[in-house]
Amino acid sequence: MLDAFLKQVLRGWSSIFLCGGSPADFKLAQQAILKYEPPNEHWINQDIAPEVAAVDFLRSALRQDPDCIVLDQRGSECLEMQLNAACTGHRLISGHPLSPAEAWSGFCNCNPEFSQVMVAGILQYALFLEVGEGGAIGVVHQLQVVDNQPRFVKLAHVRKGEWVALQDAIWPGPYQPPAPDYTPIEVPAEWGRREESLLANLRRLRRPRQRTTWAPRLVPFEGDNHRGSRYGGLPALRAGESWPRCQACQARMQLVVQLECQQLPEALHQQIGPGIFQFFYCISDQCSVAEGAPYAGPYAGNSLARQIETTDLVAPAADDRLESSHYGVYLVEDWSPLPDHPDWAETPEDEHTPLDYTEDWLEMVEGSSRSEGLYQRYSRLLEHFQVGPDQLAEVVSLLQNYPGDKLFGWPRWTQGVEYPACQKCGQTMEMVLQVNNDGEPDSRPGFHSCFGQLFASDGNGHVFRCPDHREIMTFVWACT
């Protein structure tokens, strides 16, 4: 019975709280729970940093955007932060030295602004397990919400060595996407009548700011070759050089991108310069909890962007290679040039409205099962903007700021404009590379994400370089 409960709660993305028992009992119970870890999930366990306070560990772990965070009994010291983690889609497996009822009460009282109904909505379907001697689980409670009211329900307990069911569990049902709404969008009266068509407006305001971005076309690669333009794999190193390490945790860093500049399209040779461009990023779980660990800002020690000469390059020694990586290796087969434009964060506010429709309008241009419905939904807006069917493709092109992996062009910002300044001259730096972190499969050039998720949650990261001091580069990322 306990086995069925645990499988169901993990399938439903709910949390598990181990309550009571000594630290030794808790550890045994936790080890039993960890056997149920799904193979395709990313869990971070406080065991990797037992000396770090629970609140510091949890804060650092959240930077890695894991599927599940495992805390020991000190989890009771950071109940409010646990609620924040659960609210943002992270499963918790956490300990509490007192009873399930006291653990639930602790969550309800950790912040006077949190109502019991609010807390229940965040932790709904969670299991609270009573831990006994030797790590044995004796009672299973579940937090349920019925008619918008929380209930703390005892589901089952052990009697004479056998599990006895007491009440029914409640589990979330399968996700049902809402039915599409193709009701035509009304044009707000305050917009008035346009004197200039949207296309003419975009040609005037956005075409002068157009830049060419280059999206990689990738093919899987297997082998140990250290040369060539690639995402992942072995880096080319200078003679006598070791694999670059993270300045915070000293782990070898993942090679994200290596570009042989002479293999790039000729139009890029002067823009990127000679040699080999490389970008490394630390993917170690230990890095997230190292003392003074770097974060997302510029010049953090957990990344390295550089350009090296092509002479006397060697492969890393057999005993000097990345300990483990779940990222594949992809050779850059070719580059697709695309017209790129500023995103919303670098666009005047009075020009934002059309940007809100770019994704749907692109779908209309490309054609999909929703195209007919979308044309109906946007019919009045397109009439207001004076955009005919034969003009929509150009309108979309002028609105587009590509979100995927790309070289040069305009950054796709996640939270706002974050151009760093050169450490040497203070000048605003220019984007060289964008690394998409959304994790959504999309093979279209300009929308593709090679690594899926490299850092924290959905968003983008950017390598910047000073236009006057090309040796000075840095990496900055932001997540949703």
pLDDT value at 475 more than 90:
yes
Q: Same structural domain for residues 29 and 140? A: yes
Q: Same structural domain for residues 36 and 144? A: yes
Is 81 domain-assigned?
yes
Domain with residue 43: its CATH number is: 3.40.50.300
Can you tell me which residue has the tokens 């052990």? 158
pLDDT value at 106 more than 50:
yes
Residue ending a domain, among 349, 373, 399, is 399
Q: pTM for the whole thing?
A: 0.74
Whether residue 449 contacts residue 437, with contact meaning beta carbons closer than 8 Å, is answered with: yes
Is 268 domain-assigned?
no
Mean pLDDT over each residue of the chain, to the nearest integer: 89
Is 265 domain-assigned?
no
Residue 391 lies in domain: 189-209+340-399
Is 195 domain-assigned?
yes
Mean pLDDT of all residues in 321-328: 85
Task: Find the range with the poorest average confidence among 6-10, 70-74, 328-332.
Answer: 6-10
Query: How far, in Å, are 4, 29, 112, 222, 385 from residue 43 at the CA level?
Result: 21, 17, 31, 28, 49
Q: Which residues contact 137 (CB under 8 A, 6 or more apart)?
A: 2, 29, 32, 129, 130, 131, 158
What phi, psi does 140 have (nearest 5°)? -120, 120
Is 285 domain-assigned?
no
Q: Which of 437, 440, 432 is nearest to 475 (CA)?
A: 432
Amino acid 239: pLDDT: 93
Amino acid 19: pLDDT: 92
- Percent of the residues in the chain that have a pLDDT greater than 90, as a whole number: 59
pLDDT value at 289 more than 70:
no
- Percent of the residues in the chain that have a pLDDT greater than 70, as a whole number: 96
Residue-wise pLDDT tens digits, 122-159: 999 999 999 999 989 999 999 998 888 898 999 999 88
Is 463 domain-assigned?
no
pLDDT-based confidence at 245, cuts 50/70/90?
A: very high
pLDDT value at 213 more than 70:
yes
What phi, psi does 350 have (nearest 5°)? -75, -5
Residue ending a domain, among 380, 399, 418, is 399
Q: Same structural domain for residues 66 and 104? A: yes
Q: Same structural domain for residues 62 and 130? A: yes
Is 40 domain-assigned?
yes
pLDDT value at 47 more than 90:
no
Amino acid 381: pLDDT: 95
pLDDT value at 288 more than 60:
no
Residue-wise pLDDT tens digits, 173-198: 776 778 889 999 999 999 999 999 99
Mean pLDDT of all residues in 357-376: 92
Q: Same structural domain for residues 82 and 24? A: yes
Q: Same structural domain for residues 201 and 97? A: no
Amino acid 179: pLDDT: 86
Residue-wise pLDDT tens digits, 392-423: 999 999 999 999 999 999 999 988 899 999 99
pLDDT-based confidence at 292, cuts 50/70/90?
A: very low
| Count of domains for the chain | 2
Q: Same structural domain for residues 11 and 147? A: yes
Q: Which residues contact 120 (CB under 8 A, 6 or more apart)?
A: 143, 145, 150
Task: Find the range with the poorest average confidence among 43-47, 366-370, 440-444.
Answer: 440-444
Mean pLDDT of all residues in 98-110: 91
d(CA 42, CA 30): 17
Mean pLDDT of all residues in 376-384: 95
Q: Per-residue b/e over 387-399, b at no fewer than 16 CB within 10 Å?
A: beeebbeebbbbb
Radius of gyration of the chain (CA): 26
Q: Which of 308, 270, 290 is nearest to 408 (CA)?
A: 270
pLDDT value at 291 more than 60:
no
Q: Same structural domain for residues 91 and 149? A: yes
SS3 of 78-126: the string is HHHHHHHHHHCCCEEEEEECCCHHHHHHHHHHCCCCCCHHHHHHHHCCC
Residue ending a domain, among 130, 165, 200, is 165
Tokens of 407: 């070289």
pLDDT value at 294 more than 60:
no
Is 181 domain-assigned?
no
Q: Same structural domain for residues 204 and 90? A: no
Mean pLDDT of all residues in 51-68: 79
* DSSP of 20-55: SS-HHHHHHHHHHHHTT--TT--EEEGGG-TTS-HH
Tokens of 99: 């009873």
pLDDT value at 253 more than 70:
yes
